[in-house]
Amino acid sequence: MTMLNALEQARAAHAARPTVRGLARGFAAAAFAAVSALCASAAVAAPAPASADAALVQRGAYLAQLGDCAACHTAPHGKPFAGGLPMNSPLGTIYTTNITPDPDTGIGHYSEEDFARALREGVARDGHNLYPAMPYPSYTKVNDDDVKALYAYFLHGVEPVQQANRDTDIRWPLNMRWPLKIWNAVFLDKGVYRDKPGKDVAWNRGAYLVQGLGHCGSCHTPRGVGFNEQALDESGSAFLTGASLDGWFATNLTGEHNTGLGRWSEAELAQFLKTGANAHASAFGSMTSVINNSTQAMTDSDVNAIAAYLKSLPAAGGDGGPAYAYDPQATKASLARPANDAGARVYAAYCMHCHGVDGRGFAPMLAPLAGNPNVLGKDPVSLINVTLNGTGDLVIGGIPAPYPMPAYAGTLDDRQIADVLTFIRAGWNNRADAVNAAQVAKLRSATQSAAR
Ligand code: HEC
Ligand code: HEC
Ligand code: HEC
């Protein structure tokens, strides 16, 4: 069977199956096409009052996409921006709030000043502190003009929805919010982004978007003792070096040549953000909602600015090993005689007809496994998760990805998944660490319970 045939068959099977993909998407659980479509229609459907400047509202709608507000403030199958999405935090479950202009349950009574304070300082209108699950440590960089446009959009471009907010599941005494003031004093680096002298317009625009509205670091930067991002801009060495969150590992975005973006060109990076796939990798896990709701809507100039900024980040977070070089010899040999290698046996039976003997896939439809930064990464959590639960909710321009990766939770046991991932991580000269069955078991139970 050729790779494309296999993909076609899988696609047909996938289309026929009423899949429920309520996985442990945590932050990203709202990644549904319907949601983005609804958001888009909400933006145009609500007639802007004559007093509001239509152009400002429209610019605010675009900025809301850059900020990916919908991903968190819209629950699966819920009304746009009415909140209610559960989010995991180290203390317990937090629910996102209603940010439609409903005066009773939403932010209808917010003044522009109140809105700016919530966005940039994490303080609600009534003075209570917000949990940093709301990425105000990033949004603090959003400039006044953009806050103004966002405010105009949320007050005049979004349909009001009456839906009461849900209390957190965090129990007393941890549910007291005053300690967040201390958290803010220690970790919140208040202040709007200032252009860096000596850098060009695109770099500064990219830095503004990545650090600010894009809040890329909220997933891609490792967290410290207070669950704070260890660095909020390129001056910190941990910035965007990759982090594990909610069952996914958000990849290193620095110039590191194995686990980061060192081998990607600026154009390839822009292609990934616009379409969710390129010659090196394809989007899955919590990155899917970022692409569905946010980066694919970016103008070319914004997406190119982000690519230019990210490509300027020096390599960090690697292990100092030599750059990856493709070498299929040993892997081809074990696939020719898989009897002695448990991982090769699983690969030959379940994966090879799509991912190939050569591990090179069929980019951009099918990501290569050879040299893929996610495969080479130290933390295998994304690989385990994608093998257990598959992919399938990437939606570009309203069209779902035609070739999702199947889910193997019901087909392969923990040992088999550990074996095949160990094989893939060693294969084609990938040289990454082995995966053990306990790691798979842990993720299986976490993602299966979250699916209920
Ligand atoms: C990663 C998830 C996430 C994203 C993205 C996000 N928010 Fe939030 N937001 C939250 C959570 C969670 C809360 C509630 C926190 C709490 O109750 O302590 C919140 C609260 C708020 C509030 C306070 C409302 C109230 O009265 O409770 C406002 C206003 C707000 N967000 C606006 C926005 C805007 C505008 C954007 C996009 C630019 C955005 N948020 C993006 C998670 C998010
Ligand atoms: C909600 C969490 C989250 C946010 C926010 C987020 N990412 Fe990601 N990102 C991930 C995860 C998880 C992966 C690994 C899975 C994959 O490769 O798609 C990833 C992967 C990527 C990759 C592919 C890397 C590779 O080697 O395959 C790029 C590029 C990327 N993200 C860029 C960004 C940019 C730019 C932003 C901000 C605009 C951003 N991400 C915001 C979670 C996130
Ligand atoms: C029907 C074809 C098909 C089969 C069979 C298949 N895969 Fe995939 N796989 C895909 C596609 C397509 C993607 C990219 C999907 C995406 O990211 O949206 C993918 C992506 C992946 C990724 C993520 C790579 C990345 O960074 O994008 C891993 C890891 C993976 N597959 C492992 C496996 C393993 C292990 C098996 C066997 C147990 C397997 N696959 C079987 C089609 C397949």
For 393-436, write each residue's pLDDT tens digit: 899 999 888 788 999 999 999 999 999 999 999 999 999 999 99
Grade residue 15 by pLDDT with cuts at 50, 70 and 90. very low
Candidates 287, 293, 296, 389: which one to mutate for ligand 2, based on the most atoms within 8 Å of Cβ? 287
- Note the pLDDT of residue 32: 29
- Note the pLDDT of residue 365: 79
Would 434 be classed as within a structural domain? Answer: yes
CA of 23 to the centre of ligand 1 (A): 22
298, 371: one domain? no
Q: Which domain holds residue 170?
A: 21-187
Of 120, 153, 187, which one is at a domain's C-terminal end?
Answer: 187
369, 259: one domain? no
pLDDT averaged over every residue in the chain: 88
429, 291: one domain? no
For residue range 201-211, what is the model confidence (pLDDT) as tens digits?
Answer: 999 999 999 99
Grade residue 235 by pLDDT with cuts at 50, 70 and 90. very high
Distance CA 260, CA 174 (A): 37
Atom of ligand 1 nearest to the CA of 131: 18
279, 165: one domain? no
Would 317 be classed as within a structural domain? Answer: no
Atom of ligand 3 nearest to the CA of 284: 17
334, 272: one domain? no
Would 2 be classed as within a structural domain? Answer: no
CB neighbour burial string for 156-167, b if at least 16 within 10 angstroms, e if fewer: bbbbbbebeebe
Say yes or no: CB of residue 313 within 6 Å of ligand 2. no
Asked which of 22-26, 124-128, 156-160, 421-425 is least confident by mean pLDDT, the reply is 22-26
145, 224: one domain? no
Say yes or no: CB of residue 154 within 6 Å of ligand 2. no
* Number of domains into which the chain is organized: 3
Look up the CATH number of the domain holding residue 208: 1.10.760
Closest Cα to atom 2 of ligand 1:
72
Ligand closest to Cα of 345 equals: 3
Ligand 3 pocket (Cβ < 6 Å) reads 6-7, 10, 281-284, 350-351, 353-355, 366-367, 372, 374, 383, 386-387, 391, 394, 401, 403-406, 408, 420, 424
360, 278: one domain? no
Would 14 be classed as within a structural domain? Answer: no
Atom of ligand 2 nearest to the CA of 272: 29
Would 379 be classed as within a structural domain? Answer: yes
Look up the CATH number of the domain holding residue 395: 1.10.760.10
Grade residue 26 by pLDDT with cuts at 50, 70 and 90. very low
211, 255: one domain? yes
246, 332: one domain? no
CA of 51 to the centre of ligand 1 (A): 26
42, 180: one domain? yes
- Note the pLDDT of residue 392: 72
- Note the pLDDT of residue 452: 38
430, 285: one domain? no
Binding residues for heme c: 69, 72-73, 216, 219-220, 351, 354-355
Would 30 be classed as within a structural domain? Answer: yes
Say yes or no: CB of residue 67 within 6 Å of ligand 1. yes
Q: What percent helix, strand, coil does the chain show, rounded to 5?
A: 45, 5, 50
Provide the residue type at 93 as one letter.
T
Is the pLDDT at 248 greater than 90? The verdict is yes
Would 223 be classed as within a structural domain? Answer: yes
- Note the pLDDT of residue 401: 84
Under DSSP, is residue 263 helix (H, G, I), strand (E, B) or coil? coil
Q: Is 450 exposed, middle or buried (0-12, 13-18, 19+ CB in 10 A)?
A: middle
305, 345: one domain? no
Provide the residue type at 287 as one letter.
M
Say yes or no: CB of residue 250 within 6 Å of ligand 2. yes
357: Cα separation from own chain's centroid? 30
Q: Please tell me whether the overall predicted TM-score, pTM, comes out greater than 0.95 for this model.
A: no
Would 9 be classed as within a structural domain? Answer: no
- Note the pLDDT of residue 361: 83
